[in-house]
Amino acid sequence: SQQGEEDPQALSIQEGENATMNCSYKTSINNLQWYRQNSGRGLVHLILIRSNEREKHSGRLRVTLDTSKKSSSLLITASRAADTASYFCATTSGSARQLTFGSGTQLTVLP
Amino acid sequence: ETGVTQTPRHLVMGMTNKKSLKCEQHLGHNAMYWYKQSAKKPLELMFVYSLEERVENNSVPSRFSPECPNSSHLFLHLHTLQPEDSALYLCASSQGPANSGANVLTFGAGSRLTVL
């Protein structure tokens, strides 16, 4: 069953702008991960944030987690055309140890 | 190249055919997964193998049959598929056992399946 839901479904920005994607989930989680998928390819892991963490950084990526609102956001700063891809959040929760993915946000960065 | 290799990359088959998808990982990981990705839908977990033992099977139709002969190889045998089975089939692996709850997945590039 689906746990995470990304918002917006699609986002189009100019190169150099920041991109923010959100993920909401329904039940308490153990951790939350963000993945990226280029068209027709496999998913690539970006970052993992644990339920007791509030913010994590990796290069131009910044992930926040608000467990009280059951939501997470992924911020990509100074976007590039190469950032064009679909971005998915995935969660593990309780006894359900397997990752459950959302439907993804399609990000298009225009040169 | 992520270290997880899937073949074939593209497959077209009729509903009466029997074919197999292959996945190989060179990462020394202990768990392997099959996911199905259909357009506009979340990824669906199909099968999980941890240390070569199947630990999860999410009510997948019997026309899909997994096989994990060793920790580096995973197959998905296909027979009498339906057109709605057309999708991107993704293989993934993780270092820890499948029940660790904090696994980071490494995905292959996928096998695009079209059922006519």
- CB of B1 within 8 Å of a chain A CB? The answer is no
Residue that is written with structure tokens 């993804």 in the block: A104
**Sequence-distant (≥ 6) Cβ neighbours of residue A52 within 8 angstroms:** none
| pLDDT, mean of residues B109-115 | 96
Q: Looking at chain B from residue 37 to 56, which residues have their Cβ under 8 Å from any Cβ of chain A?
A: 40-43, 45, 48, 56
Residue that is written with structure tokens 């060179």 in the block: B26
Averaged pLDDT score across all residues of chain B = 90
| pLDDT, mean of residues B33-62 | 87
Q: Which of B62, B55, B58 is nearest to B77 (CA)?
A: B62
Is a pLDDT exceeding 70 seen at residue B101?
A: no
Substitution target in B40, B41, B103, B106 with the highest count of A β-carbons within 10 Å is B103
Tens of pLDDT along B22-35? 999 999 999 999 99
β B64-70/B87-94 pair status: unpaired
Instruction: Give whichever of A2-11, A26-35, A87-96, B69-78 has the largest mean pLDDT.
Output: B69-78
Tell me if A41 and B110 make a contact (CB, 8 A cut-off): yes
Is a pLDDT exceeding 60 seen at residue A34?
A: yes
pLDDT computed for residue A94 by the predictor? 67
pLDDT computed for residue B98 by the predictor? 66
pLDDT computed for residue B96 by the predictor? 77
User: Where is pLDDT greater, at A33 or A27?
Assistant: A33
pLDDT computed for residue A93 by the predictor? 75
- CB of B109 within 8 Å of a chain A CB? The answer is yes
β A105-110/A10-14 pair status: parallel
Q: Report the sign of the C-alpha dihedral through residues B77, B108, B99, A104, in that order.
A: negative
